[in-house]
């Protein structure tokens, strides 16, 4: 009972906070909420499903290249690849071109599961924008691209500073791009996971987002 009361109180406080904000503040809040939902829905940058989908798109690939494409540390990549290999979903063989590297190839069952995972992802993406018509989706896409271009130019210096401290950001073409974790040894420069709100060393963009939530 108390949990329900606390939850309702929290919702009421959030609603009141939202109503007090101007349009800019409400935009930030909505983008923030959307980012959290996307993170919850995502399989994760180093998930088994993402590895299978990536292999489905690329075909056989070296483990080093796979690690780079995933944007995670080699140890994490080795762990997930080993689990998939033990499950009979992929195989690792010594590369004929370079015996210092290992080629990663999907098995027939791995390909079947990869196609199923990709279909589930595509269905999830359609579901995420089911509330919009095709025309509305095109309008939203145009607006987001416009804002994104402006931010890349407007905050370029801050982003360069952030990259210098956290490593270069990977491509933003996939939803899972926002799930990069801070991991690795002290010698490794950690990747930015784009979670500015929880970043231990936020850049100017992260600080602006945090201030917008207060």
Domain boundary assignment for the chain: 23-213
For residues 143 and 149, give the distance between their C-alpha atoms in angstroms, rounded to a whole number. Answer: 10
122's CB contacts (< 8 A; 6+ apart) are none
Q: pTM of whole model > 0.95?
A: no
The percent of residues in the chain predicted with pLDDT above 70, rounded, is: 73
According to the model, what pLDDT value does residue 7 have?
A: 81
According to the model, what pLDDT value does residue 173 have?
A: 38
According to the model, what pLDDT value does residue 199 have?
A: 61
Are 66 and 102 in contact, with CB atoms under 8 Å apart? no
For residues 190 and 180, give the distance between their C-alpha atoms in angstroms, rounded to a whole number. Answer: 9
According to the model, what pLDDT value does residue 20 have?
A: 93
For residue 157, give both structure tokens: 């210096």
According to the model, what pLDDT value does residue 46 have?
A: 77
What are all long-range contacts of 180-187, with beta carbons under 8 Å and residues at least 24 apart? 180/45, 180/71, 180/72, 181/45, 181/46, 181/72, 183/72, 183/73, 183/76, 184/73, 184/75
Would you give the DSSP letter of residue 194? S
Query: Average pLDDT over the chain, rounded to whole?
Result: 79
According to the model, what pLDDT value does residue 139 have?
A: 97
According to the model, what pLDDT value does residue 201 have?
A: 57
Mean per-residue pLDDT pooled into runs of 10, the chain (214 residues): 80 90 94 90 83 94 92 91 95 82 93 95 94 97 96 81 50 40 35 54 54 48
For residue 147, give both structure tokens: 């804002």
Are 86 and 44 in contact, with CB atoms under 8 Å apart? no
For residues 110 and 107, give the distance between their C-alpha atoms in angstroms, rounded to a whole number. Answer: 5
For residues 128 and 74, give the distance between their C-alpha atoms in angstroms, rounded to a whole number. Answer: 32
99's CB contacts (< 8 A; 6+ apart) are none
According to the model, what pLDDT value does residue 191 have?
A: 44
According to the model, what pLDDT value does residue 167 have?
A: 47
- Tens digits of per-residue pLDDT, 159-186? 665 555 544 444 443 444 433 333 333 3
Domain covering 23-213: architecture: Orthogonal Bundle (1.10)
For residues 130 and 78, give the distance between their C-alpha atoms in angstroms, rounded to a whole number. Answer: 37
């Amino acid at each position: 009972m108390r949990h329900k009361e606390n939850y309702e109180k929290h919702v009421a406080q959030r609603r009141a906070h939202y109503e007090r904000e101007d349009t800019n503040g409400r935009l930030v809040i909505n983008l923030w909420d959307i980012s959290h939902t996307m993170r919850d829905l995502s399989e994760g940058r180093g998930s088994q499903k993402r590895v299978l989908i990536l292999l489905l798109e690329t075909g056989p690939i070296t483990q080093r290249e796979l690690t780079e494409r995933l944007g995670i540390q080699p140890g994490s990549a080795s762990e997930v690849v080993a689990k998939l290999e033990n499950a009979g979903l992929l195989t690792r063989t010594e590369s004929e071109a370079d015996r210092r590297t290992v080629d990663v190839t999907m098995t027939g069952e791995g390909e079947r599961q990869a196609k199923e995972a990709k279909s589930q992802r595509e269905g999830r993406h359609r579901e995420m924008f089911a509330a919009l018509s095709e025309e509305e989706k095109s309008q939203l896409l145009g607006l987001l691209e416009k804002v994104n271009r402006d931010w890349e130019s407007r905050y370029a210096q801050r982003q360069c500073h952030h990259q210098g401290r956290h490593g270069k950001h990977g491509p933003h073409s996939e939803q899972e791009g926002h799930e990069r974790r801070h991991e690795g040894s002290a010698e490794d420069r950690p990747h930015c996971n784009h979670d500015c709100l929880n970043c231990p060393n936020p850049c100017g963009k992260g600080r602006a987002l945090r201030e917008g939530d207060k």
